[in-house]
Amino acid sequence: MSALRRAWARVHSFFHKPPLDAELEAEIATHIELAIEENLQHGLPLVEARRQALVRFGGVDLMKYQHREARGLMRLDILLQDFRYTIRSLGRDRGFTIIAILLLALGIGANIAVFSVVNNLLLRPLPFPNADRLVWIAPPPTKCGLSCATYSTDAYDEFRMYSRSYQDVTGYFAFSGPGNLDLNLGGAPIPATSIDVIANFFEVLGVQPAMGRLFRPEDGNNGAAPVIVLSDAWWRRQFNADPKIVGKAFDMNGNQTTVIGVLPPTFDFGAVFSPGAKVDALTPLNLYGPPRDYGNIITLIGRLKPGVTMGQAVPDAAAAATHMCWNNKQPGSCHQYTGAVVPVPLKDYISGKLRRSLVVLWSAVGSVLLIACVNLSNLLLARAAARTKEFGMRTALGASRFRIVRQLLTESLVLSGAGAICGLVLAAALIAWLRHQQALALPLLSLLHIDGAALGWTVLIALVAAGLFGLLPGLRMASGNLQDSLKDSGAGSGQGRKHERLRSILVVTEVALACVLLVGAGLLLRSFLQVLDVDLGFQPQHAASINVEYDDSAPNDKDGSLGAARRGVIFQQVISRVSAIPGVEAAGISDYLPLGQNRAWGLPWPKSIKQPENVHGSPLVYVITPGYLRAMGTGIRGRDISWDDGPKSRNVVLINRSFANFLDQYAHWPNHDAVGQIIGGNGQEMLVVGVADDVHEESSEGEAGWQIYYSAMQRGPSGAQLVVRTTLPPAVLAGTVLRTLRDINPKQAMAEFRPIQSLVDHANSPRQFFMLLAASFAGLGLLLAAIGIYGVISYSVTQRTQEIGIRMALGATMAQVRRIVLFKTLRLAAFGIAAGAIVSLLVSRAIAALLFNTAPSDPIAFAAMIVLIGAVAMLAGYIPARRASRINPMVALRNN
């Protein structure tokens, strides 16, 4: 109670110093007067009476100090004093202050930005309640793309029934392409992207609507009225954030569809499940309708029961897998999921692949800050050297060593605090920019923001940085004999020499760190260039694609042949009209494009050869028209699909070289040539009419898999992507192509004409992103190291002005002086590079997994790094060297 009262009184006193001080003065004056009076009464003369009164009182200033100490908040007073002093002294040295804060802002800002990305992807839980219980259920990767990563509706039902670890299991239809939803508001339909999800999807994830409701089980039943849930972004963009949208119905894909709810901004399907893709709306998946027999179509997501560990969930899923059938009506299809139902934490699925890159990035940006700190330490050392006299004076006036070190630490803290604030602004700008990079295929990007953890991190690194760069100068100050420094004339003394050695060590450290960063960035850059160099099996330049809508429904179409024939007519019309546009070299249609979605239909085997048991995988299926492969720039041996390969003709296919070679291992075709051979059995026989080049269908980096191309008039495509190869920039043709399509089919939506290159860029974007960041950090590190070298050499030139003057007076030429200074620079750089190269050799092995077709000890990256850093070092040293060679010996000798 009384302690609390005292604390309050102290705070009160802290803010009322002047009146309290005046009162104390008056009290002391009275005290002394009373004492003098008493002494006079004892018969002392006035002078003696006053002297004795003062002696008995003790030192007046000391008493006042004690009183204030007892009364207020002394530490805070001192802190404020130090702070004011710091601001004044930094204000006087404006150039230094600006450079210091800039260095720190760059270092700290980059750190905050990277931390926010790391926090978003690795540290923070996914944006769902109890997200640690969410799992992604998929088979281990195999050679048939998305079709082997998904499950049939029967399998879903059985998994739900036989697994015990899960509170519930949900999933979504994995094969919806972009632009699959046409919104008709009158005028041309507006394309949007919608994903079919199982009705319990939001329940399992724990997502609540921002408005209206989400799906109920009956929404997915046969004959249910069509309903849709809008994403926050689409609701704002397309519906002007209409607050009364719930309950309104719109014509979507020709059906009156009712909006039942709007999702919260925190849930972005694309950001979580298909990074870089925009998903505008979600619709209920009818588990018991037409998709029932489509085969593998559903990706599974489960929520574990509370307390169930992954160790329990994995064997449980494996056990449930034995009960799962691809199709319940085909007993032979049961057991095919055995070993192919493996849960992994959802978060690992989403961001696990990025962990290594992010950790590398985090280390890189930490090194940048370290370089900035070393640099600043160096600057502060130079400043401290210039201030030894100031501190000597303060010591002489009674400041304790502790007080001076505290003053220096206050300076460091003020600098790092200011740097952190500027860095925070920098990071906020960077993050705002990053958040809107929709083309970047990184998950959860739209949720990126600076949160409390990032602010905490900022404070932490600001403190650590202040400690790092303030410690060395502080210790130096505290250890030196300050009295001596008052007598010391400064230049040329032993103290200066020692200082210079320390500063050189710091610069070597800096160069070594920059070196490691550069090598790392160089290796990543080499890898990226290697990725760009990969032969994708198609020519992405000068080609673009657009989603074509068509209606091939035919009445009384029993075997689909009428529809197929009609489709052929439509496609032929589309292609011939588009091909007639000036500038179009080739045009063709495929239902899927490489580096996008894919699917497989099983493994066709050479006719009359028995398929061995242990063969797995199946080729990815593309249903194409004549001209597609030419439009994509994929080479063919044999012939393309032709317009005559219709529903009534013999079934034909093209297969890619890898698949042909694989089959040839078993079939031993004459001349190892697949062209003219028959594959498939049981009335599904197909003539291989051509062998196509291997296409990278999933990523630029992975191996090309197996592909099979069917005729769009013999098999049902799941859409139509028109690919146009042109001599003109694709953007020029966009309007004409869309007009032509709308001319043929007025229901054609205003779809985007996307350059094929953008598919490749999208696939490469994570690598490019990491490479660019690593390169910028390395560049920053190099710049900082260059500043460090410049600082040290420049300082040493100033220190040795006299020596240089003497040398020149004794006949040294300008070139010789320059050579001396440059040699010194070179020595520093050489030490740094040597140390850096050794560390790089060790570090690069740790990032080997991130490299592509590049050895961790890639000589080109190492050599380029040495040349680059050497050149920059020489440049940084050349400026002071030039200055040194211009020294006028007369002036230099006369001074001092």
Q: Which residues bind other proteins (CB under 8 A)?
A: 2-3, 5-6, 9-10, 13, 23-24, 26-28, 30-31, 33-35, 37-38, 56-60, 62-63, 66-67, 69-71
- SS3 of 503-533: the string is HHHHHHHHHHHHHHHHHHHHHHHHHHHHHHH
Fill in the DSSP letter of residue 282. Answer: E
How large is the C-alpha radius of gyration of the chain? 38
What's the closest the beta carbon of residue 399 comes to other proteins, in angstroms?
23
What's the closest the beta carbon of residue 95 comes to other proteins, in angstroms?
45
CA end-to-end distance (rounded Å), the chain: 66
What's the closest the beta carbon of residue 403 comes to other proteins, in angstroms?
21
What's the closest the beta carbon of residue 308 comes to other proteins, in angstroms?
59
The answer for 542, left when phi > 0, alpha when psi is -120 to 50, beta otherwise, is left
Task: Please give the structure tokens belonging to residue 561.
Answer: 């042949």
Q: Which is nearer to other proteins, 69 or 703 (CB)?
A: 69
Q: Which is nearer to other proteins, 63 or 562 (CB)?
A: 63
Q: Which is nearer to other proteins, 2 or 222 (CB)?
A: 2
**3-class DSSP state for residue 138?**
strand
- Where does residue 605 rank: exposed (0-12), middle (13-18), buried (19+ CB within 10 A)? middle
Cα(81)–Cα(21) distance, rounded to whole angstroms?
18
For residues 44, 50, 53 and 58, what is the CA-based torsion angle, rounded to 10 degrees? -140
Q: Which is nearer to other proteins, 63 or 318 (CB)?
A: 63
Q: Which is nearer to other proteins, 37 or 132 (CB)?
A: 37
Q: Which is nearer to other proteins, 71 or 133 (CB)?
A: 71
Q: Which is nearer to other proteins, 66 or 255 (CB)?
A: 66
What's the closest the beta carbon of residue 6 comes to other proteins, in angstroms?
4
What's the closest the beta carbon of residue 40 comes to other proteins, in angstroms?
11
What's the closest the beta carbon of residue 46 comes to other proteins, in angstroms?
16
What are the beta bridge partners of residue 600?
Answer: 620
Task: Please give the structure tokens belonging to residue 430.
Answer: 């960077």
Cα(196)–Cα(298) distance, rounded to whole angstroms?
10
What's the closest the beta carbon of residue 397 comes to other proteins, in angstroms?
23
User: How crowded is residue 83: how many other Cβ atoms within 10 Å of its Cβ?
Assistant: 16
What's the closest the beta carbon of residue 28 comes to other proteins, in angstroms?
7
What's the closest the beta carbon of residue 482 comes to other proteins, in angstroms?
31
What's the closest the beta carbon of residue 7 comes to other proteins, in angstroms?
9
Percentage helix, strand, coil for the chain under 3-state DSSP, each rounded to 5? 55, 10, 30
Q: Which is nearer to other proteins, 30 or 481 (CB)?
A: 30
- Where does residue 5 rank: exposed (0-12), middle (13-18), buried (19+ CB within 10 A)? exposed
Q: Which is nearer to other proteins, 5 or 894 (CB)?
A: 5
Cα(233)–Cα(281) distance, rounded to whole angstroms?
9
Q: How many residues does the chain have?
A: 896
Fill in the DSSP letter of residue 332. Answer: G
Cα(96)–Cα(384) distance, rounded to whole angstroms?
12
Cα(171)–Cα(158) distance, rounded to whole angstroms?
14
Q: Which is nearer to other proteins, 29 or 750 (CB)?
A: 29
Q: Which is nearer to other proteins, 39 or 412 (CB)?
A: 39
DSSP-derived secondary structure for 608-660 = TSPPPTT----PEEEEE-TTHHHHHT--EEE----TT--TTS--EEEEEHHHH
Please enumerate in sequence order all residues whose Cβ is within 8 A of that of 11, keeping only pairs 6 or more positions apart, or say none. Answer: 73
Closest CA to 267 of 220, 228, 227, 210: 210
**3-class DSSP state for residue 101?**
helix
Q: Which is nearer to other proteins, 27 or 348 (CB)?
A: 27
Q: Which is nearer to other proteins, 20 or 874 (CB)?
A: 20
User: What's the CA angle centered on 639, arms 636 and 645, to 5 degrees?
Assistant: 130
What's the closest the beta carbon of residue 79 comes to other proteins, in angstroms?
21
Task: Please give the structure tokens belonging to residue 507.
Answer: 């610069």
What's the closest the beta carbon of residue 76 comes to other proteins, in angstroms?
16
Task: Please give the structure tokens belonging to residue 622.
Answer: 């593309």
**3-class DSSP state for residue 559?**
coil
Distances (CA, A) of 373 to 528, 734, 781: 31, 52, 11
Q: Which is nearer to other proteins, 35 or 782 (CB)?
A: 35
What's the closest the beta carbon of residue 51 comes to other proteins, in angstroms?
14
